[in-house]
Amino acid sequence: MMYRILIIEDSEDAERTLRSHIERYAGETGIECDIIWKTSAFDLAGGDEAHFDLIFLDIELPGINGMEAAQSMREHDPETPIIFVTNLAQYAVHGYAVDALDFVVKPVTYYDFKLRMDKAMRKLGRTSQRSLSVPTESGFRVVAVADIAFVDVTNHDLAYHLANGETVVVRGTLSKIEAELEGTTFVRISNNCLANMAHIKEIKGTDILMAGGDTIYFSRSRRKPALETIARYLGGSL
Amino acid sequence: MAIQIFQVVSQIIVCAFATWLYAHHLARKSRFSLRITAVLVAAAVGTIAAIASGYTLYPTLTDNTSFVFALIMFALVIVALTFAVRFLWDASAWAALFCASSGYLVQSIVYGLDRLLHVSGIVPAQYTGSLNIADVLSYIICSIFVLVLFHHFITGRLQRNGLLGINNPVMFFAVILAMVVALVLDLSIKDVISYDVPFRYMVVFSAIYVMICLFIVVSEFEILYNQRLQADVVTMERAMVEQERQFELSRSTIDAINRRVHDIRHHVARLLASEGDGAPGNEVLSEVVREINVYDAAVKTGNASLDVVLTEKGLLCKRDGITLSSVADGTALSFMAAADVYTLVGNALDGAIASVKKVADKSRRSISLNLRSQMGMASLSVEHYFEGEPALVDRMPAGEGFGVDTMLAIVERYGGTIVCTADGDVFHTEILIPQS
């Protein structure tokens, strides 16, 4: 797996440290990294950057500072994980505003780096390209797992509710699909529903509001184990 | 005669078992098997004596002397049961009295229910001395029915340490008084049964007897046992007050530090300005500025209480060479009481710090804290390296003492969840709390 990593850092020393950490990490975990280094965040803010899997962003930069650049970037790219690298702990605390994954304080030791890098790798591993082959009446249909908002079952009819509003209905059992979706971002929220945590907008008591507008039922008996899974998903350890 | 023997033996067995239901989760005394054998032997001797002298546990109300005798017997049984409980288990006199009186009452309910069945004609009444299989079955079924119900609703809910704090002499006085009333009613029913009283009155009296006993034993449980639980809550609240006090202390300390830092920065800035560029002392002054910045650790997350705890723990970490980085949206916990935020996050960080300190390699002493609002919930996660075996019981760190219990109590109070996982050399604590 090849990961494209962008480092935006104006200090050459700091960049060298970070780069050596990434290379060491790549060696230890067997992944491949393509590291690009920029000294300014202008391109990032302008939205000119080609796609990257992970961005290490210094906050104190000449010209546009990292935090502002990240805000601009987020306007059109809500997904790419950002890890702030900084001297100023105060600023980084507000990293949540730009949905930053975490931050490291300079000088960055390898293990500080590794703790955050592991988290980034877990997050990247989540948005997998997995897909399901759904046997419809007109043949097999390939559905990307990431596009499925939730799956529910009534009698023996399994309904895949997709993010685009479409619903694909086939015959099947929920348990079988649960097993197939093992290791993805799906959680069992009731006896007859599997929800994709990436599509959950809000949880209010026994109602789960999905990003697409649907409201699905969160059963009391499934609540505790489901919440634990969601806690781990949101916390980043899943 | 056979019927009397059956009655005495079965009543004693049910009474003992019911008392055991109340007392069995208490701490056993040493050489328990020896003790229980002694108690069983004493009970057997007592039973034989009772049968031999021709009395049952519930003598009749034929005249004044027999009434007094009935009261004495009642008192003796309660005292004997209390002694037995104290002998077998580590319990205060009051806790033992609670078990004894409750056990006796449960037995009374079984007995009353059995009589009700007889009197209402459901079980054919036999007044001959020979033992009828219907009587035996009826009593056994009543026992099982009542004991199972009781265990499900009452004794099953008793906690391990729940009986320790029971201490309410006034309440017990009332209970004993009520039990005497029930006893008198019972004796009256026994007496009246021999007269030609219309059937419906017997049913009504028997039913009332059962209901009185039920009422007493349930009230006893609610008032005495729940009082103990309330005492627990009071203890917790006291601990919370202590935490609040610490919170205030931290806050004023941090304010003081911040003021000093601000002043020093000011002075240094003036010095640097007056010296001009390239002056010999500049490097030292710049170094001072860098050092000061470290202590300007005042964190502003949008939540005053969170600011205090993160700053406080941040300084602690700095002092101990631990890296603590936090990405925290304080507004995520705006629904939570200030003291709860301080206690919850404080305890989580204390646990992480204690754990990280045990890591041999100093460069691995790193803690990462994340707090944000997602899905209408506050998601708080703390990650750190650890070494050795993660002792996890029920997915919570074991052996960390009161800190973890407090965290769990707070999280559960807000309807949230905590889950801890050990993944290789990293320990994750993830907390999710609904914001409404």
Residue in chain B nearest A202 by alpha carbon: B375
ipTM of the complex: 0.84
Span A39-87, pLDDT tens digits = 888 877 776 667 888 999 988 888 788 888 888 888 888 888 999 988 7
**How many Å is the maximal CA-CA distance in chain B?**
120
Can you give the pLDDT at residue B294? 59
B288 confidence band (pLDDT: 50, 70, 90): confident
B149 confidence band (pLDDT: 50, 70, 90): very high
Please state whether B121 falls in left (phi above 0), alpha (psi between -120 and 50) or beta: left
Is residue B291 over pLDDT 80? Answer: no
Can you give the pLDDT at residue A128? 65
How far away is chain B from the Cα of A96, in angstroms, using its nearest Cα?
6
Residue written as tokens 């998601």? B379
**Could A96 and B371 be called an inter-chain contact, meaning their C-beta atoms sit closer than 8 Å?**
yes
Can you give the pLDDT at residue B160? 60
How far away is chain B from the Cα of A200, in angstroms, using its nearest Cα?
6
Partners of residue B335 in chain A, C-beta under 8 Å: none
Average pLDDT, chain A: 87
How far away is chain A from the Cα of B353, in angstroms, using its nearest Cα?
15
Q: Which of B432, B433, B436 to mutate to test the interface with A (most CBs of A within 10 A)?
A: B432
Is residue B431 over pLDDT 90? Answer: yes
A-contacting residues of B 364-423, CB under 8 Å?
A: 364, 366, 368, 370-372, 374-377, 379-381, 383-385, 395, 416-419, 421, 423
Looking at residue B222, the DSSP 8-state letter turns out to be I
What is the percentage of chain B residues whose pLDDT exceeds 70? Answer: 85
Q: What is the three-class DSSP state of B400? A: coil
B62 confidence band (pLDDT: 50, 70, 90): low
Span B153-173, pLDDT tens digits = 888 777 665 666 677 788 788
**Could B370 and A228 be called an inter-chain contact, meaning their C-beta atoms sit closer than 8 Å?**
no
Can you give the pLDDT at residue B147? 93
Can you give the pLDDT at residue B27? 78
Nearest by CB to B327, from A87, A88, A95: name it.
A95
B393 confidence band (pLDDT: 50, 70, 90): low
- Joined together, the tokens standing for residue B128 give 């001959």
B309 confidence band (pLDDT: 50, 70, 90): confident
The pLDDT of A100-127, averaged and rounded, is 86
- Joined together, the tokens standing for residue B110 give 């079984």
Residue in chain A nearest B310 by alpha carbon: A93
The one-letter code for the residue type at B429 is T
Top-confidence residue, B98 or B129: B98
Is residue B425 over pLDDT 90? Answer: no
Residue written as tokens 């919440």? A227
Partners of residue A200 in chain B, C-beta under 8 Å: 375
pTM of full prediction above 0.90 = no
Looking from the CA of A147 toward its CB, the CA atoms found within 13 Å total 14
**How far apart (Å, rounded) are the C-alpha atoms in residues B143 and B9?**
13
How far away is chain B from the Cα of A230, in angstroms, using its nearest Cα?
8
Can you give the pLDDT at residue A44? 78
Least-confidence region, from A109-118, B96-105, B107-116, B405-414: B405-414
Least-confidence region, from A66-75, B36-45, B46-55: B46-55
The pLDDT of A10-22, averaged and rounded, is 91
- Residue B163 and residue B95 in contact, taking contact as beta carbons nearer than 8 Å: yes
Question: CB distance from B56 to chain A under 8 Å?
Answer: no
B84 confidence band (pLDDT: 50, 70, 90): very high
Can you give the pLDDT at residue A51? 82
- Residue B431 and residue B418 in contact, taking contact as beta carbons nearer than 8 Å: yes
**Could B417 and A228 be called an inter-chain contact, meaning their C-beta atoms sit closer than 8 Å?**
yes
Question: CB distance from B361 to chain A under 8 Å?
Answer: yes
Is residue B395 over pLDDT 60? Answer: no
Nearest by CB to B419, from A97, A201, A231: name it.
A231
Question: CB distance from B105 to chain A under 8 Å?
Answer: no
Q: Compute the C-alpha angle B326/B315/A81, nearest 5°.
A: 15
Residue in chain A nearest B299 by alpha carbon: A90
The pLDDT of A85-91, averaged and rounded, is 73
What is the percentage of chain A residues whose pLDDT exceeds 90? Answer: 31
Q: Which of B296, B374, B380, B395 to mutate to test the interface with A (most CBs of A within 10 A)?
A: B374
Strands (E), B313-387: 323-328, 366-374, 377-385
Question: CB distance from B4 to chain A under 8 Å?
Answer: no
B125 confidence band (pLDDT: 50, 70, 90): low
Can you give the pLDDT at residue B239? 72
Can you give the pLDDT at residue B155? 81
Span B268-284, pLDDT tens digits = 777 777 766 666 677 77
The pLDDT of B317-343, averaged and rounded, is 88
B229 confidence band (pLDDT: 50, 70, 90): low
Can you give the pLDDT at residue A161? 92
How far away is chain B from the Cα of A146, in angstroms, using its nearest Cα?
18
Other CB atoms closer than 10 Å to residue B331's CB: what's the count?
17
- Joined together, the tokens standing for residue A124 give 């990247």
Span A117-176, pLDDT tens digits = 999 998 887 766 788 888 888 888 888 888 899 999 988 889 999 988 888 888 888 888
Can you give the pLDDT at residue B175? 86
Can you give the pLDDT at residue B299? 72
Burial class, B115, CB count within 10 angstroms (exposed 0-12 / middle 13-18 / buried 19+): buried
Nearest by CB to B434, from A90, A115, A203: name it.
A203
**How far apart (Å, rounded) are the C-alpha atoms in residues B5 and B261?**
88
The pLDDT of B203-223, averaged and rounded, is 90
Is residue B400 over pLDDT 70? Answer: no
Q: Which pairs count as long-range contacts for B29-36, CB under 8 Å and 24+ apart, including other chains?
A: B29/B87, B29/B88, B29/B89, B29/B90, B32/B88, B35/B87, B35/B88, B36/B88
**How far apart (Å, rounded) are the C-alpha atoms in residues A238 and B421?**
10
Top-confidence residue, A192 or B30: A192
Nearest by CB to B325, from A97, A102, A236: name it.
A102
How far away is chain A from the Cα of B376, in angstroms, using its nearest Cα?
5
**How far apart (Å, rounded) are the C-alpha atoms in residues B54 and B50?**
6
Question: CB distance from B28 to chain A under 8 Å?
Answer: no
Other CB atoms closer than 10 Å to residue B58's CB: what's the count?
20
Cα distances (angstroms) measured from residue B348 to each of A16, B380, B429: 34, 10, 8
**Could B325 and A234 be called an inter-chain contact, meaning their C-beta atoms sit closer than 8 Å?**
no
- Joined together, the tokens standing for residue B69 give 């005798």
**How far apart (Å, rounded) are the C-alpha atoms in residues A181 and A174?**
10
What is the percentage of chain B residues whose pLDDT exceeds 90? Answer: 20
Question: CB distance from B360 to chain A under 8 Å?
Answer: no
Can you give the pLDDT at residue B210? 93
B109 confidence band (pLDDT: 50, 70, 90): very high
How far away is chain B from the Cα of A139, in angstroms, using its nearest Cα?
36
Is residue B252 over pLDDT 60? Answer: yes
Q: Helix H segments across B89-196?
A: 93-119, 133-153, 169-193
**Could B428 and A118 be called an inter-chain contact, meaning their C-beta atoms sit closer than 8 Å?**
no
Q: Which of B294, B327, B380, B423 to mutate to test the interface with A (most CBs of A within 10 A)?
A: B327
Can you give the pLDDT at residue A68? 85
Can you give the pLDDT at residue A140? 86
**Could A96 and B328 be called an inter-chain contact, meaning their C-beta atoms sit closer than 8 Å?**
yes
Can you give the pLDDT at residue A235? 86
A26 confidence band (pLDDT: 50, 70, 90): very high
**How far apart (Å, rounded) are the C-alpha atoms in residues B335 and B18?**
47
The pLDDT of B392-414, averaged and rounded, is 69
B-contacting residues of A 190-219, CB under 8 Å?
A: 200-205, 209
**Could B423 and A237 be called an inter-chain contact, meaning their C-beta atoms sit closer than 8 Å?**
yes
